Amino acid sequence: MAVNRAAIMRRWAEATRHMRWAEANELWRELMTEWLKPTAVNQRYWNELVRRRMAALERKEQRAAISDIEWDNTHQDMGR
């Protein structure tokens, strides 16, 4: 899309320089239409965020389910 937008901007600048106002106005409308379109969602980012959040919740749940002594034994507490 950025390539298309850059090409339209170049054509708009040229039309403006040469005072072809009807063409410049049409190209400006195209630019504004393109600019107002919503951006694409980075699905990989959101999937990774959900995966990390679920892992954190799972660890929290596991931690709440066992005693401190069990936790220390299974995770080899660094304080020893």
Average pLDDT estimate for 53-60 = 89
27 and 15 in contact (C-beta within 8 Å)? Answer: yes
Q: Can you give the residue range of the structural domain that contains 28?
A: 2-36
Query: Is 80 among the domain residues?
Result: no
Task: Work out how many domains the chain is built from and give that number.
Answer: 2
- Do 11 and 31 sit in the same domain of this protein? yes
Q: Which of 35, 36, 31 is nearest to 11 (CA)?
A: 31
Average pLDDT for the chain: 84
Any domain includes 6: yes
Q: Over the stretch 20-40, which tens digit does the pLDDT of each residue have? A: 999 999 999 998 888 888 777
Asked if 6 and 32 sit in the same domain, the reply is yes
**Structural domain contains residue 29:** yes
47 and 32 in a common domain: no
